[in-house]
């Protein structure tokens, strides 16, 4: 987002609100718009959780939440602390699961175990572990589970979420002859975040947009535990393959107020095409070496200087990646500049949407989640600067230590939720 441009005037916000309600919170109109327009538009849905994660009853059990997303599959595994009187089948399951978790082969070329994110929860009475791999490797993962006979008699500890929970329902049934429970991805996301916000360890942080750590990571300042619990209501901007924007209230009640189809997969997909990079991390590293001005069309490129009348200085981006319309510039574009231009374009767009929705819904705290921000200090710094500058310090960007794992955390909580105690508020 270019900081010299003026924030959107009220009138534009109103138009945006109207457009948004027409498309039920979607930024891009559906493909079969004509057909849909003839049908009645659904009202905005407010989701109320069954029981707040902060005071729900939990049971002692193993639990595995799997969030099967458009790009990445995230796993959150809960292992209860060992007790002397644990039944033998628990001991056996623990051994098998540990063998699978510790085996490098389990993760394949795209998989990782994020040991730095593991933590113990006294409240749940166990340890929480995190793993991820690319969703395109789902078949290999299912085969690993099958060959270990891990699910036999233990399918009740598994809960899937994400779009893939529906997509893989049949393949899972065909392989294991079981129907795994699945639950809504955005409800899981909100549940997962609200759980960690109330966990007694720092989760939420701001980043400095002025300086970086010597190792190239963002300078983080964590909120205090009291502050972390007091950010409600907040705007949740989840940047996964696509972008979902939700307003979340203290009790976990939430509403999807918007979204964008220009998200993490747009960046990674186009960066792969334009630069030949092979991984998300490589795309980020390239972007870190590049200059967006090598590919962006600036106001100065069009005006030959400032556009003073409307306060647009020469160095403002007039059109992201806009220089690429010129054959000569296209020929000489460096891969690193292309990656940077693309990264900035996607980030700016999310930042502008986030701010607009925060202002429209009158919330100050904008919490960014999703794996697009994993190790992505360029985008975090940019979002942070943009929100602060544009809102004159009213809105602030906050980030989460557990990045894109919250859907999986929410699915894990779904297993641990003990409904035999009835509903609690
Ligand atoms: N190792 C990685 N491999 C691929 N993409 C990655 C990786 N690490 C981070 N990313 C980025 O994270 C995005 C996926 O984020 P996330 O896991 O939160 O979403 P998702 O659940 O796959 O998508 P959606 O929720 O839209 O279905 C990718 O599109 C990419 O931009
Ligand atoms: C479709 C989901 C919810 C899948 O996680 C996500 O990718 C998303 O919010 N995409 C953006 C859709 C839109 O609002 O244009």
Q: What is the pLDDT of residue 177?
A: 86
Q: Report the Cα–Cα distance between both ends of the chain, in Å, rounded.
A: 41
Q: What is the pLDDT of residue 287?
A: 98
Q: What is the pLDDT of residue 23?
A: 41
What is the rounded distance in angstroms from the CA atom of residue 279 to the CA atom of residue 269?
10
| 58 Cβ closer than 6 Å to some ligand 1 atom | no
For the stretch 229-264, pLDDT in tens is 999 999 999 999 999 999 999 888 999 999 999 999
Burial class (CB in 10 A: 0-12, 13-18, 19+), 318: middle
Q: What is the pLDDT of residue 384?
A: 97
Cross-strand pairs, 129? 77
Q: What is the pLDDT of residue 30?
A: 56
| Dihedral-angle region of residue 362 (phi above 0 means left; psi in -120 to 50 means alpha; beta otherwise) | left
Q: What is the pLDDT of residue 45?
A: 79
Q: What is the DSSP letter of 250?
A: T
The answer for residues whose C-beta is within 8 angstroms of residue 339's C-beta and 6 or more apart is: 271, 274, 275, 277, 283, 284, 286, 287, 290
Give the nearest ligand 1 atom to 370 CA. Answer: 18
> pLDDT band at residue 100, thresholds of 50, 70 and 90?
confident
Residue among 243, 350, 356, 408 whose CB has most ligand 2 atoms within 8 A, to mutate: 243
CATH class of 63-194+407-418: alpha beta
Tell me the average pLDDT across 259-288.
98
Please give the structure tokens belonging to residue 13. 């916000």
| 134 Cβ closer than 6 Å to some ligand 1 atom | yes
Please give the structure tokens belonging to residue 381. 């710094």
Q: What is the pLDDT of residue 44?
A: 61
Q: Where are the domains of the chain?
A: 63-194+407-418, 204-295+333-400
| Dihedral-angle region of residue 276 (phi above 0 means left; psi in -120 to 50 means alpha; beta otherwise) | left
What is the rounded distance in angstroms from the CA atom of residue 364 to the CA atom of residue 231?
8
Which ranges constitute the DSSP H helices of 203-305?
225-228, 264-275, 280-289, 299-303
What is the rounded distance in angstroms from the CA atom of residue 97 to the CA atom of residue 103?
10
Q: How far is the CA of 323 from the centre of ligand 1 (A)?
A: 28
Tell me the average pLDDT across 271-281.
97
Q: What is the DSSP letter of 203?
A: -
Residue among 67, 261, 368, 410 whose CB has most ligand 2 atoms within 8 A, to mutate: 261
Tell me the average pLDDT across 219-224.
96
Q: How far is the CA of 400 from the centre of ligand 1 (A)?
A: 15
For the stretch 124-170, pLDDT in tens is 999 999 999 999 999 888 888 888 777 777 778 999 999 999 999 99
**Site of tokens 């929410």:** 410
Q: How far is the CA of 10 from the centre of ligand 1 (A)?
A: 34
Q: What is the pLDDT of residue 421?
A: 56
What is the rounded distance in angstroms from the CA atom of residue 124 to the CA atom of residue 80?
8
Cβ atoms of residues 319 and 300 within 8 Å: no
Q: Determine which residue's CA is closest to atom 4 belonging to ligand 1.
A: 280
Residue 400 has pLDDT above 80, yes or no: yes
> pLDDT band at residue 17, thresholds of 50, 70 and 90?
very low
Q: How far is the CA of 182 from the centre of ligand 2 (A)?
A: 18
pTM for the predicted model, two decimal places: 0.90
The H or E element spanning position 14 is helix 10-22
| 65 Cβ closer than 6 Å to some ligand 1 atom | no
204-295+333-400 is a CATH 3.40.50.300 domain: no
- Tell how strand 365-369 and strand 234-239 pair up: parallel
Q: What is the pLDDT of residue 40?
A: 52
Residue 344 has pLDDT above 80, yes or no: yes
For the stretch 303-329, pLDDT in tens is 999 999 999 999 999 999 999 999 999
Residue 353 has pLDDT above 90, yes or no: yes
């Amino acid at each position: 987002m270019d900081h010299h441009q003026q924030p959107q005037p009220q009138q534009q916000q109103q138009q945006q609100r109207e457009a948004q309600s027409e498309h039920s919170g979607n930024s891009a109109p559906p493909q079969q718009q004509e057909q849909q327009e003839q049908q009645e538009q659904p009202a905005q849905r407010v989701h109320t959780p069954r029981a707040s994660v902060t005071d729900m009853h939990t049971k002692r059990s193993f639990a595995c939440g799997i969030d099967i997303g458009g790009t990445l599959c995230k796993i959150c595994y809960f292992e209860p602390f060992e007790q002397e009187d644990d039944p033998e089948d628990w001991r056996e399951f623990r051994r098998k699961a540990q063998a699978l978790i510790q085996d490098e082969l389990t993760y394949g070329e795209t998989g990782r175990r994020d040991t730095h994110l593991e933590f113990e929860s006294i409240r749940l009475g166990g340890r929480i572990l995190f793993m991820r791999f690319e969703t395109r490797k789902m078949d290999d993962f299912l085969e690993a589970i099958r060959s270990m006979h891990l699910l036999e008699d233990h399918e009740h500890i598994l809960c899937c979420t994400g779009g893939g929970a529906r997509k893989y329902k049949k393949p899972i049934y065909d392989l294991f002859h079981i129907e795994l429970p699945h639950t809504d991805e955005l409800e899981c996301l909100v549940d997962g975040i609200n759980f960690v916000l109330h966990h007694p360890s720092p989760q939420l942080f701001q980043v400095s947009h002025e300086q970086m750590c010597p190792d190239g990571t963002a300078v983080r300042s964590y909120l205090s535990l009291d502050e972390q619990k007091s950010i409600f209501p907040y705007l949740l901007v989840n940047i996964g393959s696509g972008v979902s924007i939700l307003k979340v209230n203290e009790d976990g009640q939430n509403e999807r107020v918007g979204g964008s189809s220009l998200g993490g997969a747009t960046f990674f997909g186009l960066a792969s095409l334009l630069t030949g990079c092979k991984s998300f991390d490589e795309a980020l590293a390239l972007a870190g070496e590049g200059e967006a001005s090598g590919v962006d069309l600036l106001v100065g490129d069009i005006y030959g200087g400032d556009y003073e009348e409307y306060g647009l200085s020469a160095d403002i981006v007039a059109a992201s990646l806009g220089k690429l319309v010129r054959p000569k510039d296209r020929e000489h574009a460096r891969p690193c500049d292309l990656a940077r231009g693309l990264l900035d374009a996607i980030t700016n767009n999310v930042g502008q949407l986030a701010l607009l929705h925060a202002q429209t819904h009158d919330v100050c705290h904008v919490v960014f989640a999703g794996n697009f921000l994993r190790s992505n200090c360029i985008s975090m710094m940019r979002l942070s600067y943009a929100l602060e500058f544009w809102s004159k310090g009213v809105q602030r960007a906050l980030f989460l230590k557990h990045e894109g794992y919250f859907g999986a955390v929410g699915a894990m909580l779904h297993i641990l939720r003990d409904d035999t105690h009835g509903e609690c508020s």
